[in-house]
Amino acid sequence: MVNIAILGFGTVGSGVAEVIEENRERIAGSAGEEICVKYIVDIRDMPDSPFASRLIRDFSVVESDPEVSVVVETIGGTRAALEFTRRALSAGKSVVTSNKELVAAHGLELLAIAKEKNVNYLFEASVGGGIPIISPITQCLTANEIDEVYGILNGTTNYILTRMIAEGCPFDEVLREAQRLGYAEADPTADVEGYDAARKICILADLCFGKNVDPEAIRVEGISGISLTDVDCAGGLGYKIKLLGRAYRLPDGRVTAYVAPHLISDKYLISRVDGVMNGIVVHGNALGECLFYGAGAGKRPTASAVVADVIDAVKHRQRRRTIGWEPADGNALADARDMATFWYVRCAGSPDVRALNPRRTLERGGERVYLTGSLTARELDAALGPADVRAKFRIL
């Protein structure tokens, strides 16, 4: 029997305990031995929980118990979660997490500790919730040189944009509905301003390109400034607006990563990823393009991915999984503003149309929409000059 401990008994932590209890026999068959939740660490009293007898408050009990070989961290954030993860790994225990903020900000350090102690630090659920993406990148696609990864990485923003596109509902109204349905937090900033997606694209870039990408160093734009006017104009031109996290390798070996709204045509499968679903595209030089699709969040899907990592950690107790990335110097990350792309621009006034080199234009109530030629953000801003810019988005 393998004993594990769960840190944090919120949505994901409780889901992990439930999945292990419900699927005990199948999990034992996959792991090669039974997995038992010995401790649940939480500061709250939960007398009505079926797992109440396993609740403790003192992490040091877990840390010092030689019978606990795997710790599941579902606390979230980077304070207590970082301290407890460091201590668990240093004590020779593998750690499994769904905490994308922690992995994006401190994954390099934590993976180094895991390597030193010959244990595992696994985080399948940190990017796509229930979508298998970390394991495919680190195992199934290792014969490929991956040159690009991008995706719809946040179900809240995708739900909001889907409703705006399909039903013409304004942003504020759909956000309130998403909060009522439990898709958005009371403070939705991390979702709607793109920070959640930024953490996830950093982890994907780390794994795909092998160099550490600091989430504080990438450019992030959210969806709070998207209006129904832009949704309507984009639709009239044959596009949908989606929030994408995107990272790719440049010919000189540097990497660029960013989060921003994009116009996407229906020639891309990812344009059909709607509602709260996520979609992640990986492009390899041997495979070509591959789309991973599924539920990117939620209690059961995320718990499913966490438990799969627990099984993996148990199976790799004698020989740890090879997973990780290297530190990056200051020149490894290229500024997304220096990357040329096509743009959607809606403005009033008189931009330098020749410099914009538009492929299509659309007039609407005193405003003009341009689908530009390939320009960097700096070139675009110079071409727009004093024009009153109402919106500008990249085109995939």
- Name which of 161-170, 224-233, 312-321, 343-352 the model is least confident about: 312-321
- Are the CB atoms for 191 and 157 separated by under 8 Å? yes
Q: CB neighbours of 240 closer than 8 A, spacing ≥ 6?
A: 161, 165, 234, 263, 264, 266, 271
Distance of alpha carbon 273 from alpha carbon 8, whole angstroms: 31
Q: Please provide the average confidence, as pLDDT, over all residues in the chain.
A: 94
pLDDT score at 88: 98
- Name which of 70-79, 256-265, 312-321 the model is least confident about: 312-321
Q: Give me the percent of the chain exceeding a pLDDT of 70.
A: 100
pLDDT score at 130: 83
pLDDT score at 340: 95
Better pLDDT: 376 or 297:
376
Distance of alpha carbon 311 from alpha carbon 29, whole angstroms: 10
Q: If you classify domain 135-295 with CATH, what class do you get? A: alpha beta
- Are the CB atoms for 371 and 239 separated by under 8 Å? no
Distance of alpha carbon 134 from alpha carbon 161, whole angstroms: 26
| Residue ranges, CATH 3.30.360.10, the chain | 135-295
CA angle 101, 106, 108 (to 5 degrees): 130
Q: Band the pLDDT of 45: cuts 50, 70, 90.
A: confident
Query: Region 150-179: what's the mean pLDDT?
Result: 95
Q: Read off the pLDDT of residues 56-115 as tens digits, 9 standing for 90 and up.
A: 999 999 999 999 999 999 999 999 999 999 999 999 999 999 999 999 999 999 999 999
pLDDT score at 47: 86
pLDDT score at 160: 96
Query: Region 357-372: what's the mean pLDDT?
Result: 92
Task: Give me the CATH topology for the region 2-130+299-315.
Answer: Rossmann fold (3.40.50)
pLDDT score at 6: 98
Distance of alpha carbon 93 from alpha carbon 4, whole angstroms: 9
pLDDT for 305 beyond 90: yes
CA dihedral sign of residues 16, 17, 23, 29: positive
Residue 385 neighbours by CB distance under 10 Å: 12
| Residue ranges, CATH 3.40.50.720, the chain | 2-130+299-315
Residue 247: DSSP 8-state: E
**DSSP 3-state assignment of 59?**
helix
Q: Band the pLDDT of 230: cuts 50, 70, 90.
A: very high
pLDDT for 360 beyond 90: yes
* Of 356, 348, 359, the residue nearest 382 (C-alpha): 356
Residue 78 neighbours by CB distance under 10 Å: 16
Residue 214: DSSP 8-state: -
- Name which of 215-224, 268-277, 289-298, 334-343 the model is least confident about: 289-298
Distance of alpha carbon 340 from alpha carbon 267, whole angstroms: 21
- Are the CB atoms for 153 and 127 separated by under 8 Å? yes
From residue 341, alpha-carbon distances to 313, 327, 377 in Å are: 42, 28, 8
**pTM of this prediction exceeds 0.85:** yes
**DSSP 3-state assignment of 241?**
strand
* Of 101, 88, 135, the residue nearest 306 (C-alpha): 135
pLDDT for 320 beyond 90: no
**Pure H helices in 145-289:** 155-167, 171-181, 189-192, 195-209, 228-236
Q: Read off the pLDDT of residues 186-205 as tens digits, 9 standing for 90 and up.
A: 999 999 999 999 999 999 99
Q: What is the DSSP string of 349-378?
A: S---HHHH--SEEEEETTEEEEE--SB-HH
Catalytic residue IDs: 200
Q: Is 109 exposed, middle or buried (0-12, 13-18, 19+ CB in 10 A)?
A: middle
pLDDT for 117 beyond 90: yes
